[in-house]
């Protein structure tokens, strides 16, 4: 079973020694969900040599290797333009999870490989027609400027504090938007194991000037000591799974030792290693990280591995199952925040309409597979309006119908823990469903995280819309604005004014 994936001897030894692939589990998963199963592929691995393939060079190597196996990728210019704008990276492992006999409908192929139609054909034409290298670069740069790296006014979320010497300290690689959770985009987690074509953090993964990078660990602890409302830290990126043992130790040991940090109750690591590079989680080196996470749990601090699994195919392969089981053996809770994306976990029919039943079935099957693996189904979230959003999204009205079907079809303990969610500057808004007010159909909305957490207590309404795909752009019902909008403007102004003031004071102080 593992031969097809070309796993290293260390990973195979771990799987055997720690009983990570019990035959009963694998057989039950395969028998119940054969169409997603990559456990018993009969053909040999196509990708055997390199651990990963990166950039245009790596993409061209893959194209060549596929050609040697009788598979001819088309639309090369469309794909190469995308890669020059957004980057490309694929691990050997994820390439071997693709069912190359039916690759066009394979979710991992759709996830990692740029596709025709992602970038508008007029833009691709400019790129294809560029007479020389210099002109081609200009087309790429011009298009890059049109993309929107930081949505939701994320830059307003950079936390800061005044240190004991009276100096301003800005945490350049952190975000603190909702009181209980602080995000850390550490300097060691700025890349990913593979790149997703719908990435909403492409400023991070392509290394834009305005990326978030946390260099000083001590700043994080100092900030946390001043913010007792924070209970969770989330190490993310890029991919939080990249964090080395020594760096993680620097972050978490003080949480155990320092009485001033006792309010931190959860350490989350946001990572796609389970689907993209599960071999890493099966190494001896990773065992040190597991032991450290176990130590956290033994000290009353929950350790959570936040995965992003959108279809059973993401995890129904030997190393992904083994990786999940290994995390759990060391007391790490595994949960999935699952993106709902067209072509991957949401599908249109041949008439161009969202196929509600087929899309819902993917999610119902996923809910059951996650349950069989003991993974918590945290959420289904919609594509953020960044990158090539149009390609991945669908009308909210259809997504709501999919969600309703999923929710009523799963046993209550296997359902996502919150309704369909979309992020904006105000917070994370859930689409609760539809209602009728005075004979008019409306969407019912509710925050599940918000800049002012009291907004979470209020259900509010937007006009029903068959086409709109972004919650923020829905039109308020019964009023010209939502109940929170005036306060949001004030909060945003206060945040930027407070920071400006402190920066000015710091500049005056330094002169
Ligand atoms: S793992 Fe996350 S940050 Fe990395 S490419 Fe995918 S969506 Fe972007």
| Cα Rg, the chain, nearest whole Å | 23
Residues 373, 414: contact at Cβ < 8 Å? no
Nearest Cα neighbor of 410 from 388, 437, 442, 380 is 380
Joined tokens for residue 485: 């909008």
Domain count of the fold of the chain: 1
In a domain, 46, yes or no: no
**Does the C-beta of 239 come closer than 6 Å to ligand 1?**
yes
Residues 126, 139: contact at Cβ < 8 Å? yes
In a domain, 135, yes or no: no
Residues 264, 231: contact at Cβ < 8 Å? yes
Residue 100 has pLDDT above 90, yes or no: yes
Split at pLDDT 50, 70, 90, the class of 454 is very high
Calculate how far, in angstroms, residue 310's C-alpha sits from the geometric centre of ligand 1. Answer: 13
Of the two residues 156 and 135, the one the predictor is more confident about is: 135
Residue 151 has pLDDT above 80, yes or no: no
- pLDDT of 155: 67
Calculate how far, in angstroms, residue 260's C-alpha sits from the geometric centre of ligand 1. Answer: 33
Calculate how far, in angstroms, residue 203's C-alpha sits from the geometric centre of ligand 1. Answer: 11
Residue 54 has pLDDT above 70, yes or no: yes
**Does the C-beta of 272 come closer than 6 Å to ligand 1?**
yes
Split at pLDDT 50, 70, 90, the class of 207 is low
Residues with Cβ within 8 Å of 287's Cβ and at least 6 positions away in sequence, in order, are none
Residue 209 has pLDDT above 70, yes or no: no
Instruction: Tell me the longest C-alpha to C-alpha distance in the chain.
Output: 71
Range list of β-strands (E), 126-240: 160-162, 168-170, 174-175, 181-185, 232-236
Residue 381 has pLDDT above 80, yes or no: yes
Nearest Cα neighbor of 474 from 437, 444, 436, 438 is 444
Mutation pick for ligand 1 pocket among 112, 185, 186, 205 (CB with most ligand atoms within 8 Å): 205
**Does the C-beta of 277 come closer than 6 Å to ligand 1?**
no
Q: Would you call 411 exposed, middle or buried from its count of C-beta atoms within 10 A (0-12, 13-18, 19+)?
A: exposed
d(CA 324, CA 322) in angstroms, rounded, equals 6
Split at pLDDT 50, 70, 90, the class of 152 is very low
In a domain, 424, yes or no: yes
Q: What is the pTM of this model?
A: 0.94
- Across the chain, mean pLDDT equals 93
- pLDDT of 511: 61
d(CA 338, CA 321) in angstroms, rounded, equals 17
Residues with Cβ within 8 Å of 494's Cβ and at least 6 positions away in sequence, in order, are none
**Does the C-beta of 149 come closer than 6 Å to ligand 1?**
no
Of the two residues 137 and 471, the one the predictor is more confident about is: 137
Angle at 334 (CA atoms; ends 457, 402), nearest 5 degrees? 55
- pLDDT of 447: 96
- Domain range for 439 is 419-510
Split at pLDDT 50, 70, 90, the class of 43 is confident
pLDDT in tens, 288-315: 999 999 999 999 999 999 999 999 999 9
Q: What is the DSSP string of 130-154?
A: -SSHHHHHHHHHHHHHHS----TTG
Fill in the DSSP letter of residue 326.
H
In a domain, 80, yes or no: no
pLDDT in tens, 246-289: 999 999 999 999 999 999 999 999 999 999 999 999 999 999 99
Ligand 1 nearest-atom number relative to CA 192: 4
In a domain, 295, yes or no: no
Percent of the chain, pLDDT > 70?
A: 95
Would you say the C-alpha torsion 320, 321, 323, 324 has a positive or negative sign?
Answer: positive
In a domain, 76, yes or no: no
Split at pLDDT 50, 70, 90, the class of 9 is very high
**Does the C-beta of 205 come closer than 6 Å to ligand 1?**
yes
Residue 210 has pLDDT above 70, yes or no: no
Split at pLDDT 50, 70, 90, the class of 384 is confident
Average pLDDT over residues 170-191: 93
Percent of the chain, pLDDT > 90?
A: 83
Average pLDDT over residues 186-191: 94
d(CA 421, CA 98) in angstroms, rounded, equals 29
**Does the C-beta of 7 come closer than 6 Å to ligand 1?**
no
Neighbours of 31 (CB within 10 A): 9
pLDDT in tens, 103-114: 999 999 999 999
In a domain, 505, yes or no: yes
**Does the C-beta of 455 come closer than 6 Å to ligand 1?**
no
Residue 216 has pLDDT above 80, yes or no: yes
In a domain, 427, yes or no: yes
d(CA 371, CA 376) in angstroms, rounded, equals 7
Residues 461, 476: contact at Cβ < 8 Å? yes
**Pick from 56-60, 464-468, 502-506: least confident:** 502-506
Average pLDDT over residues 431-447: 96
Calculate how far, in angstroms, residue 506's C-alpha sits from the geometric centre of ligand 1. Answer: 35
């Amino acid at each position: 079973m593992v031969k097809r994936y070309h796993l290293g001897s260390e990973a195979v030894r771990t799987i055997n020694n720690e009983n990570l692939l019990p035959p009963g589990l694998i057989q039950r998963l395969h028998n119940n969900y054969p169409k997603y199963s990559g456990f018993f592929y009969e053909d040999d691995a196509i990708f055997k040599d390199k651990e990963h393939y990166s950039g245009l060079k790596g993409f061209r190597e893959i194209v060549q290797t596929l050609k040697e196996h009788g598979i001819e990728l088309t639309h090369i210019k469309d794909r190469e333009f995308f890669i020059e704008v957004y980057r490309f990276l694929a691990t050997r492992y994820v390439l071997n999870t693709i069912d190359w006999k039916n690759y066009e409908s394979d979710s991992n192929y759709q996830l990692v490989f740029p596709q025709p139609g992602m970038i508008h054909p007029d833009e691709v034409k400019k790129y294809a027609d560029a007479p020389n290298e210099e002109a081609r670069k200009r087309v790429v740069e011009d298009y890059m400027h049109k993309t929107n790296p930081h949505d939701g006014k994320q830059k307003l979320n950079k936390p800061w504090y005044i240190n004991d010497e009276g100096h301003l300290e800005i945490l350049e690689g952190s975000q603190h938007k909702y009181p209980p959770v602080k995000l850390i985009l550490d300097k060691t987690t700025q890349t990913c194991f593979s790149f997703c074509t719908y990435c909403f953090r492409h400023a991070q993964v392509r290394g834009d000037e305005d990326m978030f990078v946390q260099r000083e660990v001590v700043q994080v602890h100092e900030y946390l000591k001043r913010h007792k409302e924070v209970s969770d830290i989330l190490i993310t990126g890029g991919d939080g799974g990249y964090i080395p043992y020594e760096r993680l130790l620097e972050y978490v040991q003080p949480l155990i030792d320092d009485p001033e940090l006792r309010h931190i109750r959860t350490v989350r690591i946001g990572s796609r290693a389970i689907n993209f590079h599960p071999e890493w989680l099966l190494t001896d080196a990773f065992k040190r990280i597991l032991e450290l996470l176990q130590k956290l749990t033994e000290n009353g601090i929950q350790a959570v591995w936040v995965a992003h699994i959108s279809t059973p195919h993401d995890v129904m392969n030997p190393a992904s199952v083994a990786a999940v089981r290994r995390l759990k053996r060391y007391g790490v809770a595994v949960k999935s925040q699952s993106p709902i994306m067209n072509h991957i976990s949401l599908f249109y029919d041949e008439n161009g309409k969202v196929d509600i039943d087929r899309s819902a079935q993917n999610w119902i099957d996923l809910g059951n597979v996650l349950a069989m693996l003991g993974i918590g189904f945290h959420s289904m979230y919609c594509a953020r309006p960044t990158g090539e959003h149009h390609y991945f999204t669908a009308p909210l009205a259809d997504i709501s119908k999919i969600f309703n079907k999923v929710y009523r079809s799963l046993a209550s303990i296997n359902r996502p823990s919150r309704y369909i969610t979309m992020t904006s500057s105000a917070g994370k808004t859930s689409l609760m469903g539809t209602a009728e007010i005075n004979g008019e159909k409306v969407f019912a909305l509710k925050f599940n995280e918000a800049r002012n957490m009291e907004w979470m207590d209020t259900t509010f309404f937007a006009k029903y819309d068959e086409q709109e795909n972004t919650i923020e752009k829905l039109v308020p019902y019964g009023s010209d604005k939502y109940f929170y909008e005036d306060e949001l403007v004030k909060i945003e102004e206060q945040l930027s004014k407070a920071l400006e003031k402190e920066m000015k004071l710091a500049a005056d102080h330094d002169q």
